[in-house]
Amino acid sequence: MKYLTTVDSQPYEIEIKSEREVIVNGERVEVDFQSVADEPVYSLIVDGRSHEAYVYPEQNGLSVLMVGRLYQVTVEDERQRRLREATGGLTVPTGDFHLKAPMPGLVVAAPVEAGQSVERGSILVILESMKMQNELKAPREGTVTQVRVRPGDRVDQNQILLTLS
């Protein structure tokens, strides 16, 4: 199977013949690939060199954490690439921004109300978790359309707290 992989915006063409043999940019590489301690830690031996890394799925690809360094990687197979090329980047990011709780916690304050326009960086919600007060800020300017929480509410991870249009 062929993949188009990018590491921090550097592209690679990688064909996986098996978990023993891959072709990287046309060059054949023998690999020894194992998962350690269940996922997401993986061990890879290439050319006698032993590497180990965490590989986490993220919203837009994978994070590879290796020797204290983080690599942002996207991996597309041919079908995904064709799909993306066909839409030609027509999916313009529009619509509402939903502020989600990054972790479970207690809402300390929600200093905005529906109808209020906010600037980028404005504090939308203050969420207390692990004894720290975390200020959740607006990623862009917009108008608050709905505030779904009130101070004192307990919220779960990924619960929508507020919507910005």
Partner 1 sequence: MFTKVLIANRGEIAVRVIRACRELGMETVAVFSEADRSALHVRYADEAYLLGPAPSRDSYLRADRIIDIARRSGADAIHPGYGFLAEREDFARAVGEAGLIFIGPKPSAIAAMGDKAVARKTVAGAGIPVVPGTEGEGSLRDDEIVAIAPQIGFPLLIKATAGGGGKGMREVASAADLPALLQAARREAEAAFGDGNVYLEKLVLNARHIEFQILADEHDNIIHLGERECSLQRRHQKLLEEAPSPFIGDDDELRRRMGEVACQAARSVDYHNAGTIEFLVDKDRNFFFLEMNTRLQVEHPVTETVTGLDIVKEQIRIARGRKLHVTQEDIHLNGWAIECRINAEDPYNNFLPSVGRIAQIIPPTGPGVRVDTGVYPGFEISPYYDSLISKLICWGETRGEAIMRMRRALEEYRILGVRTNIPFHQSILDSHRFIAGQYDTRFVEERFSINAAEEGKETLPDIAAILATLVAHRQGQQAAQIVRRGERDTSNWKWVGRWERMHR
**Site for partner 1, rule CB under 8 A:** 1, 3, 5, 7-8, 10, 12, 14, 16, 19, 22, 24, 29, 31, 33, 36-38, 40-42, 44, 46, 51, 53-55, 57, 61-71, 73, 75, 77, 102-105, 108-109, 128-134, 157
**What tokens does 33 get?**
């690939």
For the bound state, the minimum distance from the C-beta of residue 99 to partner 1, rounded and expressed in Å, comes to 13
Closer residue to partner 1 (CB): 62 or 160? 62
Closer residue to partner 1 (CB): 10 or 94? 10
Comparing CA positions, the residue from 148, 154, 147, 96 lying closest to residue 128 is 154
Query: How far is Cα 154 from Cα 9, in angstroms, rounded to an integer?
Result: 39
Closer residue to partner 1 (CB): 65 or 145? 65
For the bound state, the minimum distance from the C-beta of residue 159 to partner 1, rounded and expressed in Å, comes to 13
Query: How far is Cα 124 from Cα 70, in angstroms, rounded to an integer?
Result: 29
Comparing CA positions, the residue from 28, 37, 34, 73 lying closest to residue 51 is 34
Query: How far is Cα 7 from Cα 16, in angstroms, rounded to an integer?
Result: 17
Query: How far is Cα 134 from Cα 108, in angstroms, rounded to an integer?
Result: 9
DSSP 96: P
For the bound state, the minimum distance from the C-beta of residue 35 to partner 1, rounded and expressed in Å, comes to 8
Closer residue to partner 1 (CB): 36 or 83? 36
For the bound state, the minimum distance from the C-beta of residue 162 to partner 1, rounded and expressed in Å, comes to 17
Residue that has been written with the tokens 């600037």 in this structure: 119
Identity of residue 98: H
Closer residue to partner 1 (CB): 77 or 141? 77
CB 55 within 8 Å of CB 64: yes
For the bound state, the minimum distance from the C-beta of residue 92 to partner 1, rounded and expressed in Å, comes to 26
